[in-house]
Structure 1
Amino acid sequence: MLFLFFWGTAFVNSLGDLSDALQESKKQPNPKFEHFYTKYGVAGLSLLGTFLLSSQLTATAIVSFEDSKGKATLWVSIAVVILAIVMMLLSIFAAEWLSNLLNL
């Protein structure tokens, strides 16, 4: 039991050192995301990023620019709903096109 106590203390101390090192070596944001962020803002980056990349990467990029999490969640959610509607319409038109092509 004493072993677990000392090992746990050493583990917690090493985590504290690790978090200090990570905060000191904070990376700069990706210049491409930064360009889109300054040009289009949160709404444009979330809509464009969701269509080109994924919503998880887009939300992470928006929050990395120190914008609010609520704003990022709202706009990425709107972008995902728009993407779902676009994909639904494309699938309906593709099904009709395919049935006409095959004369079904």
Structure 2
Amino acid sequence: MIEALQDFTSSLPVFLQWFGVMLAAAIPFVESYAGAVIGVLAGLNPVVAIIAAIVGNFVSMVVVVLSAHRVRTRVAAGRGDDLGGDPVEESPRRRRLRERFDRYGVPGVSLLGQTILPSQITSAAMVSFGASKNAVILWQTISIVMWGVVFGVLATLGVSVLR
């Protein structure tokens, strides 16, 4: 999949390749870290590749957080409570994410959660658990920037070693 996204990005006109990186990074499991690598490997300036990947991942994450918040608010209003109704059976993955959320909070899940699940999924889950949408957006943004820069720099160093 990464190779197909890299080929897609490389096939675009040079002035639009950053847009291809943004689109790729908006895809769950590609995120800012793989998007930055795709951009660097496609030959984009590393700074442009990293920024484009961060922006693409950020935009998709914000759309998911705002949507999850809107759904949670409507469900709570329909129940007439703050979602304190009957507990719903959780999948093992969701239960594990909730345990990590209870243990590490929004910052911990945001910074480390991308090693397990995409930022879009962890963001929506945290909002559904009752976390503040603003806190989720803030910490996910920090995480997206951190992971995008780290992997973009590593890709840049790897490409320069291979030359």
Q: Same-fold call, TM > 0.5?
A: yes
- Deviation of 1:25 (Å): 7.8
Please give the alpha-carbon distance, in whole angstroms, between the structure 2 residues aligned to 1:46 and 1:88: 19
Query: Per chain length, whose mean CA-contact separation is higher, i.e. which structure has more relative contact order (CA < 8 Å, sep 6+)?
Result: 2
Please give the alpha-carbon distance, in whole angstroms, between the structure 2 residues aligned to 1:92 and 1:51: 21
Higher helix share: 1
Normalising by structure 1, we get a TM-score of 0.64
Please give the alpha-carbon distance, in whole angstroms, between the structure 2 residues aligned to 1:58 and 1:31: 12
Which of the residues 19, 43, 46 maps onto 2:107? 43
Please give the alpha-carbon distance, in whole angstroms, between the structure 2 residues aligned to 1:72 and 1:28: 24
The answer on whether the counterparts of 1:63 and 1:72 sit within 8 Å (CA) in structure 2 is yes
Q: Identify the range of structure 1 (87-96 vs 73-82) with the bigger mean alpha-carbon deviation.
A: 87-96
Paired position in structure 2 for 1:64: 128
Which of the residues 17, 27, 32 maps onto 2:88? 27
Indicate the SS of the match to 1:52: coil
The answer on whether the counterparts of 1:58 and 1:76 sit within 8 Å (CA) in structure 2 is no
Amino acid at match of 2:127: V
Which of the residues 122, 142, 148 maps onto 1:84? 148
- Deviation of 1:81 (Å): 0.5
Please give the alpha-carbon distance, in whole angstroms, between the structure 2 residues aligned to 1:26 and 1:72: 23
Give unmatched runs, 5+ long, in structure 1.
1-18, 100-104
Normalising by structure 2, we get a TM-score of 0.43
The answer on whether the counterparts of 1:47 and 1:76 sit within 8 Å (CA) in structure 2 is yes
Please give the per-residue CA displacement for 1:45-73, whole angstroms capped at 9, x wherever unaligned.
01112243211101101101101111111
| Percent of residue pairs bearing the same amino acid type | 32
Paired position in structure 2 for 1:54: 118
Max Rg structure: 1
The answer on whether the counterparts of 1:50 and 1:76 sit within 8 Å (CA) in structure 2 is no
Give unmatched runs, 5+ long, in structure 2.
1-77
Please give the alpha-carbon distance, in whole angstroms, between the structure 2 residues aligned to 1:81 and 1:92: 16
Which structure 2 residues correspond to residues 85-100 of structure 1 after superposition, within 5 A? 85-99=149-163
